[in-house]
Amino acid sequence: MSVLGFNRYGKAEVRVVHVSRGTGPDGGDQIKDWNVSSSLSGDLAATHLTGDNANVLATDTQKNTAYAFAKKLGGVEPEAFAIALAEHFVGTQEPITRARLSIEEYPWTSLPGGPHSFSRTGGVVRTTTVLHDEQLGTSVIGGLKELVVLNTTNSEFFGFPKDPYTTLSETKDRMLATQVSATWRFRGTEVEWADAYATATASLLDAFATTYSYSLQQTLYAMGERILADVPEICEVRLALPNKHHFLVDLEPFDLTNDNEVYYAADRPYGLIEGYVLADDAPDAGIAWT
């Protein structure tokens, strides 16, 4: 005999681009470029077990709602948009008891040549996830991904265990590079979202730049610790840091010395360092990461 377990459904990767006309610092336009995914759960057993769709809000409707809310709410921050959309789905669909909204935001920079011209800056992607449960309330997760950072020096790695399979040499001077994926949990929903994101990002970057690193694990903790110190609205930071290895090229066959100048970048295999950093008074995570 089988039993239906946890389930949810939704519309993935709805591309929404909103232009706020004439609201920029110099009277130009502003752009919000989003990838929006919604997922709903609740009393949905019948559709799985019998094909009865009476409680199933069509995923196409979820897509259309995202577009309509983009018009209604204007150029708000992604956290505010996700909260409003999640509350709408739970509040208007009686069978739906939980909504999960995820947003990726892609950055654009205005060009000095005109108020309506932009360039995609690429690189870092801002991320937002909101979970709204009619019983448990709302949890907000912010963050970023695809942020590539590098220190040309001020990094060491030594003192690690050696066994018969160890070939890695200890080093007191290495290049340290990683592609940061970071998520942070907010204590509540009364937050200046744009300021919190800007400060958290700046704090993360400053910690990476100013920490003399003896391991990427040490750098991870420094980054999370700095975010918690600088943004009190955040109570937990989760980081995933792949070690983007750079190895010195052997130039001796060409009668040349390599004084930490010429490297080759190896894309795989790579070390993957992951960890959570929590404030000592962080509330229980509840539904935040589900």
- CATH value at residue 218: 3.10.270.10
Distance CA(185)–CA(228), nearest Å, equals 10
- Same domain, yes or no, for 85 and 173? no
- Same domain, yes or no, for 97 and 214? no
Q: Stretch 94-103: mean pLDDT, rounded?
A: 98
Question: What pLDDT, in 10s, does the model give residues 121-167?
Answer: 888 999 999 999 999 999 999 999 999 999 999 999 999 999 999 99
Q: What are phi and psi of 219, to 5 degrees?
A: -65, -40
Tell me which long-range contacts 17-26 makes (C-beta under 8 A, separation of at least 24).
18/70, 18/71, 18/74, 18/75, 19/75, 20/74, 20/75, 22/115, 23/75, 24/110, 24/115, 26/115
Which entry of 11, 18, 32, 63 is annotated as an active-site residue? 11
Residue 1 domain-assigned (yes or no): no
- At 220, which amino acid appears? L
Interhelix angle 216-230/193-210, nearest 10 degrees:
140
Residue 125 domain-assigned (yes or no): yes
- Same domain, yes or no, for 121 and 199? no
Residue 3 domain-assigned (yes or no): no
- Same domain, yes or no, for 128 and 209? no
Closest CA to 43 of 107, 104, 110, 93: 93
261 pLDDT more than 90: yes
Distance CA(80)–CA(189), nearest Å, equals 9
- Same domain, yes or no, for 117 and 152? no
Active site residue 11: yes
- Same domain, yes or no, for 173 and 244? yes
Distance CA(86)–CA(37), nearest Å, equals 11
**Domain housing 36:** 9-135
- Same domain, yes or no, for 283 and 147? yes
Q: Stretch 218-231: mean pLDDT, rounded?
A: 98
Is-cis flag, bond preceding 269, omega within 30? yes
Looking at the 3D structure of the chain, how many domains does it have?
A: 2
Residue 277 domain-assigned (yes or no): yes
Average pLDDT, the chain: 96
Residue 217 domain-assigned (yes or no): yes
Q: Stretch 1-12: mean pLDDT, rounded?
A: 97
Tokens 């040490």 found at: 218
Task: Please report the pLDDT score of residue 281 as a whole number.
Answer: 98
The last residue of one of the domains, among 135, 153, 174, is 135
CA-CA distances (angstroms) from residue 173 to 152, 170, 222, 239?
A: 9, 9, 19, 24
Which entry of 47, 59, 199, 290 is annotated as an active-site residue? 59
- Same domain, yes or no, for 169 and 92? no
Residue 232 domain-assigned (yes or no): yes
- At 113, which amino acid appears? G
- Same domain, yes or no, for 127 and 159? no
Which entry of 18, 32, 132, 245 is annotated as an active-site residue? 245
- Same domain, yes or no, for 150 and 82? no
Q: Stretch 264-276: mean pLDDT, rounded?
A: 96
- Same domain, yes or no, for 72 and 152? no
In which band, very low, low, confident or very high, does the pLDDT at 114 lie, cut at 50, 70 and 90? confident
The last residue of one of the domains, among 110, 135, 160, is 135
Q: Stretch 227-246: mean pLDDT, rounded?
A: 97
Which comes out higher in pLDDT, residue 25 or 186?
Answer: 186
Active site residue 59: yes
Q: Which residues of 91-126 are buried (b: 16+ CB within 10 A; e: fewer)?
A: eebebbbbbbbbbbbbebebeeeeeeebeeeeebbb
Residue 2 domain-assigned (yes or no): no
Residue 20 domain-assigned (yes or no): yes
- Same domain, yes or no, for 43 and 159? no
The last residue of one of the domains, among 135, 164, 192, is 135
